[in-house]
Amino acid sequence: MRFDILTLFPAMFTGPLTESILKRAQQAGLLDVRLHDIRAWASDKHRTADDAPYGGGAGMVMKAEPLAACIRAVLAEEPPAPVILMSPDGELLTQAIAQELARAPRLLLVCGHYEGLDERLRATLITRELSVGDYVLTGGELAAMVVVDAVARLVPGVIDAASTAEESHSDGLLEYPHYTRPAIWEGLPVPPVLVSGHHGEVAKWRRHERLRRTLARRPDLLARAYADGQLTRADLLFLAELGWER
């Protein structure tokens, strides 16, 4: 899968892309991330990418021409790709959206900066807007990195398929608690069922812990999992014992 990232600060991506799983996925040829410096498409000698807002007010606005030239040059390559702007105005990124995006062969991610970009770019070249959360970043770079990370790990082969199957959000429930050695740490034991060797009991305990935790911390997710038909009759009986009211 290919990502083209359009940014005023390509160096911000070096760390995340050159460590751990994203590094390995690129070396394995599963992931191809290309960084494009928007400023390189500015035509004046000062390489101006921003300007004062019409109508006045604080801050600067990303100019239309350099960003448009950059988007068009990158879009001219194959395969076709959506042009996604990272912005707090966008649709909130969810695991379901990450799964949808992971099926595309290529994504273009545009990192906004300053107060935002010239609105006419939205009307012409931007095809989708995504937000990583209801808070304000200094630029879209970290948001784009979140998209690359969440999507790349869903590309077949990037990580072990078993580890994406049962994790938080993939089926609408939070994860069960994990433990590793030692069996007792600072007086705290591991739940005995996990060392019992009864695989059926372990699976049941984990399912219960996922339900218990989702009810306690994210009742909104539990309601959604129920509405989506993700809960079994056994799940509903257990949740009733916990006092859950659908």
Contacting residues toward ligand 4GS, per CB under 6 A: 86-88, 112-113, 116, 131-133, 135-137, 139-140, 143
Query: Of 50 and 235, which has the nearer Cβ to ligand 4GS?
Result: 50
Taking the complex as a whole, the smallest distance from the CB of residue 86 to ligand 4GS amounts, in Å, to 4
User: Cα–Cα distance between 9 and 153 in angstroms, integer?
Assistant: 24
Query: Of 144 and 154, which has the nearer Cβ to ligand 4GS?
Result: 144
User: Cα–Cα distance between 157 and 163 in angstroms, integer?
Assistant: 12
Strands 61-62 and 50-51: antiparallel
**Residue whose beta carbon is closest to ligand 4GS:** 143
Query: Of 36 and 210, which has the nearer Cβ to ligand 4GS?
Result: 36
Residue 64's contacts (CB-CB under 8 Å, 6 or more residues apart) are 117, 118, 120, 121
Query: Of 139 and 177, which has the nearer Cβ to ligand 4GS?
Result: 139
Contact between 141 and 33 under an 8 Å Cβ cutoff? The reply is no
203's enclosing H/E stretch is helix 199-217
User: Cα–Cα distance between 49 and 113 in angstroms, integer?
Assistant: 10
Query: Of 129 and 167, which has the nearer Cβ to ligand 4GS?
Result: 129
Residue 83's contacts (CB-CB under 8 Å, 6 or more residues apart) are 71, 75, 108, 110, 125, 126, 127, 128
Taking the complex as a whole, the smallest distance from the CB of residue 184 to ligand 4GS amounts, in Å, to 43
Taking the complex as a whole, the smallest distance from the CB of residue 111 to ligand 4GS amounts, in Å, to 8
Taking the complex as a whole, the smallest distance from the CB of residue 113 to ligand 4GS amounts, in Å, to 5
Taking the complex as a whole, the smallest distance from the CB of residue 110 to ligand 4GS amounts, in Å, to 10
